[in-house]
Chains A and B, each alone.
Chain A
Amino acid sequence: MVATFSWEWMKRNAGTLWPLLVACVIILGFQAVNPTFLKYEGLVTLVYAMSYFLIAACGLTFVIMMGSFDFSVPSVLKLAALFCVMYIEKLGFWAIPFALLVSTGLGLLNGVLLAYLNVPSFMATLGVSIVVEGIGLYLSKGFLHIMYNERFRALATTFIFGLPSIFYWAMGIWALCTFVALCTPFGRRTYAIGGNLTAARLSGINVERQRVYVFALSGFLAGLSGILYMAQLGGGSMLIGSDMSIPLFASVVAGGTALSGGMGGPHRTLLGVIIITWIQSGMLMLALGRDIQMVIFGLIAVGVAIATMDRKRIRVVK
């Protein structure tokens, strides 16, 4: 085992190692500035901040792994949250499957636009997210809707072993996604499409169907994330999370799932999400405003995109 920790080994696993290194540096840095950073209260805040984020990021990871991009995750997340909060009184528990159905349907729409109508995924999802925002604003009339259903809120806020239940949800989803990506044909096909589209087709993979499935999965997870986020927050409107698309993207890519597709995976995304939420909470602690946070996240996103891009394999980048 000693031999494995050679320079060669480190170079090969750079994708995993450098996020770890960054995470350590960040912890030490913030701990030095603020000693309560690693205390219990800090941990709970951190868990709340990262859980819903992780669920949505897992879905996006599959899409990026496949070499595409899903811009509509934040909008779908918001819409699902809104559906839930608006219809939970009328429909009761059925509001949850309803919201999930809607978000999965939106994901399916993205996938169909890409796979069967040849619309580049970035533009397709941008268009869909505009439509979704329109629906959301129309339904909510732009107001914040408050959630009064305590049983529903308990979905995310019950404390088990000192941590809120949303944390266990997120870890469960994350484990499931990791399992799907690494151990099932679904994951294999996703990696294959991102890695070499021609070879994937010739190996007998139904590329179109797989693309639709992956976008549907992304929509489903965005919806689930939105529902739990709303349960955690206690209210939903189309104004929450309007600036989460960049941190979301940054956390997926920082984990090591490169935009060029075919590598990384949900297991990596956990690390990326932890780094990004740590940076976020650290910035909150330093009392940096939302504006400066956006600047920093934007720069981080560009930085990690450049760092992880697989330039050897891709001849033309548009």
Chain B
Amino acid sequence: MVKTRRVWYPFFLLVRHPVAIVLVGLVVLFSLLYPQRFLTTLNLTTILKQFVTLVLFALGPSMVVVTGSLDLSYVGIWMLGGVLVWLLTPVLGLFAICVFPLLGLGTGFLVGVVHARGKVPSFILTLCLLVVYWGLTAALSGGYSRTVKGYEFITASLVPYIPTAFLWSLPLIGAAIYLMVRTRVGLYLYAIGSNEEGAKLAGIPVEKYKILAFTLSGLFTGLGTIVLFQHLGGSVPVELNLKNVVWPLVAIVLGGTPLVGGSGGPQRTLLGALTFSVFYRGLYLSLLHPEILQLLVGILLIVSIVVGARGLRGVEIT
């Protein structure tokens, strides 16, 4: 009988999540650099807002990344869903917002089936879908960014300094983490990401669970975008901005979910999103040129993948 080791938990956290050190370091650094501007309620609220945006986008896809695949369709769901809400609100009233979860669910299921049955690499599949949704958004909206009124109650301020969207995101975050940590579905997704053939040998219906992973990802993105839609101003752009696609990915990878899958998950993504928000906000305060910021984000993405990919010798990477 071997005793379970007990390590002082914060220490354990730092060892297992090196990004936590980065986070603490960044907070200290920025607090020292901008003592008047960084640790203000306004700034912290802004960081929290940014954090919510990232988390709601990245929550679903991080489940897919756990299986080793990639889901880039989240921005597409947000854009197309927004336009559908704009189209349907005159018909359905406030129920039109239900378009988001339905669209997410449908998209996720579709992607899952095509990926699992057609064996198309998921990144290219979801990328194509993203472009299709972008095109549909532009076509349906007539080429203009449309604002929908009537959903302001979603983000109406409840608690001072804390964005309401953050409160809304809490149950979603909880559900995602519960699903991945406590249930059979989560366990199987980790198993598939860790060793797909082994999972098949262990009797797990891998194809079914891959479809389920994408469906869940779509559903969580759909539910998240209900909040995000209003959080980001009640309208959607008709131009695809690459940064919307990449930032959640940075949050996932930075949090410590390796792209080959098997470990990490939504709980890690929270950490990644928080670190990224602090990083971005700190740079923003430095009054750097916004394009330089984008460049730094790209470098951050590459560096975090490089760091996350260390020790992966033996895995075939293409």
Contact = CB atoms under 8 A, between A and B. Distances in A.
Interface of A: 66-69, 113-114, 117-124, 126-138, 197, 243, 245-246, 249, 259, 261, 289-299, 301-302, 305-306, 309, 311, 314-318
B302 A68 contact: no
Nearest to B253: A123
A192 to B, nearest CB: 14
Interface in B261-318: 261, 289, 291-299, 301-302, 305-306, 309-310, 312-313, 315-318
B246 interface: yes
A283 B253 CA distance: 39
The 3 closest A-B pairs by CB, nearest first: A134-B295, A294-B135, A130-B298
B197 A315 contact: yes
A138 B298 CA distance: 14
Nearest to A131: B298
Contact of A314 (B119, B197, B309, B317): B119
Contact of A294 (B120, B132, B302): B132
Interface of B: 67-70, 114-115, 118-125, 127-132, 134-139, 143, 196-197, 240, 242-243, 246, 249, 253, 259-261, 289, 291-299, 301-302, 305-306, 309-310, 312-313, 315-318
A302 B114 contact: yes
Contact of B309 (A117, A135, A290): A117
A302 B128 contact: yes
23 contacts: A118-B306, A120-B259, A120-B317, A121-B317, A122-B123, A122-B124, A126-B246, A127-B299, A127-B305, A133-B294, A245-B127, A261-B318, A290-B135, A291-B139, A294-B132, A295-B131, A295-B139, A299-B132, A309-B118, A309-B120, A314-B119, A317-B121, A317-B122
Given A298-B129, A302-B125, A311-B119, A120 B318 contact: yes
Contact of A289 (B114, B139, B197, B318): B139
A113 to B, nearest CB: 7
Contact of A131 (B121, B135, B299): B299
Contact of B132 (A124, A137, A298): A298
A138 B139 contact: no
Contacts, number: 172
Given A138-B289, A246-B128, A309-B119, A292 B139 contact: yes
A314 B121 CA distance: 11
Contacts of B309: 117-120
B301 A126 contact: yes
B122 A294 contact: no
> DSSP majority for the A interface?
helix
Given A291-B137, A318-B261, 17 more contacts: A69-B123, A114-B317, A118-B309, A118-B315, A119-B309, A122-B70, A124-B302, A127-B305, A291-B135, A292-B135, A294-B135, A297-B131, A301-B124, A302-B129, A309-B120, A311-B119, A317-B115
Contact of B135 (A114, A122, A261, A298): A298
A295 B132 contact: yes
A265 B138 CA distance: 34
Contact of B69 (A301, A315, A318): A318
Contacts of A309: 118-120
B215 to A, nearest CB: 17
A213 B239 CA distance: 34
B196 A302 contact: no
A132 B291 CA distance: 10
Contacts of B291: 134-138
Nearest to A297: B131
Contacts of B135: 290-296, 298
Contact of A305 (B120, B196, B249, B317): B120
A249 B119 CA distance: 17
Nearest to A311: B119
Nearest to A134: B295
Contact of B302 (A118, A128, A291): A128
B306 A133 contact: no
B295 A138 contact: yes
Contacts of B122: 317-318
Given A117-B309, A294-B131, A314-B119, A259 B242 contact: no
B136 A295 contact: yes
Given A133-B294, A294-B135, A305-B125, A127 B119 contact: no
Residue among B143, B294, B302 with most chain A CB within 10 A: B302
Given A67-B318, A126-B301, A318-B121, A134 B292 contact: yes
A259 B302 contact: no
Contacts of B124: 69, 122, 249, 259, 301, 305
